[in-house]
Amino acid sequence: MHGFANPARFLRLARWLTPLLLGSGLLLASGALLWGLLVVPPDRLMGDTVRILFIHVPCVWLGMAGWSTIAISSLVELVWRHPLAAISGRAAAVPGAAFTAMGLATGSIWGRPTWGTWWVWDGRLTSFLILLFLYFGYIALANAAQRDAAAGSGANRVTAIFGIVGAINIPIINRSVVWWNSLHQPPSITMGKSSIDGTFLWPLLFAAVGFSLIFGGVVLARMRMLLADIQAEARLRRKAMA
């Protein structure tokens, strides 16, 4: 891990890995969505409405995965002072928030014909909405810390602590349909087994992998952008002091 603490070494890796992840992710996700929309038959109970599954589920997974990335990056930043940890957390926040918002939107669209309502305040939906607000809070804190350079590591430390504390919501989202009575269906995919028929499961898995590759590519692209901003700001400061 410390081998990539050098920004120059990281940038050399990210330069070719970013387009590879984005290109393969777009190809895989597009193929999976076409598979789900054009090949998969309608569900016996939900009909064609089930096709939103191939967008909704990957978005929800990546919404939680995005905050998990923030929490791990924050822990690495606090414990090991890894120079790229804060940058990786900031880079994951915006795409994580975007996938969370898409998960909420597609869930509401799916819920209207399935439940007869756009929204219910049950455990799963409420905890996932809280996740979106946590993203907004983290992004605001990270931006404030970046602007206030005089605050130094103290402001970054507050942001990292917020990233770790916010991770408490991830297991709540995951187990909410088990702990509380909910309109939302119980977990369909668990460790080692699935209640989803293979006709729907395989395109769903391909879609999840494709969206995950896109997420990884976007995070790397944002890390490169943030590093470029930091380097440009450092050069301006050196010129101002000369």
Q: Which domain holds residue 203?
A: 20-36+49-182+198-241
Number of domains into which the chain is organized: 1
Render pLDDT for 46-59 as a digit per residue (tens, 0 to 9).
888 889 999 999 99
pLDDT digits (tens, 9 = 90+) for 193-205: 666 878 889 999 9
Backbone CA torsion sign across 12, 18, 23, 25: positive
Q: Is residue 15 part of a domain?
A: no
Task: Give the angle subtended at the CA of 172 by the CAs of 166 and 176, to the nearest 5°.
Answer: 155
Residue 57 maps to a domain: yes
Identify whether 119 is part of a domain.
Answer: yes
In whole angstroms, give the CA distance from residue 220 to residue 15. 9
User: Is the residue at 71 inside a domain?
Assistant: yes
125, part of any domain: yes
Is residue 189 domain-resident?
A: no
Q: What is the pLDDT of residues 223-238, one digit of tens each?
A: 999 988 877 666 656 6
Return the percentage of the chain with pLDDT > 90, whole number: 58
| Residue 173 CB contacts under 8 Å (≥ 6 apart), including other chains | 64, 124, 127, 128, 131
pLDDT digits (tens, 9 = 90+) for 158-198: 999 999 999 999 999 998 887 877 777 777 766 666 668 78
Strand ranges for the chain from DSSP E? 189-190, 193-194
16-28: pLDDT as tens digits: 999 999 999 999 9
What pLDDT is attached to residue 5? Answer: 60
Q: Residue 236: which CATH number?
A: 1.20.120
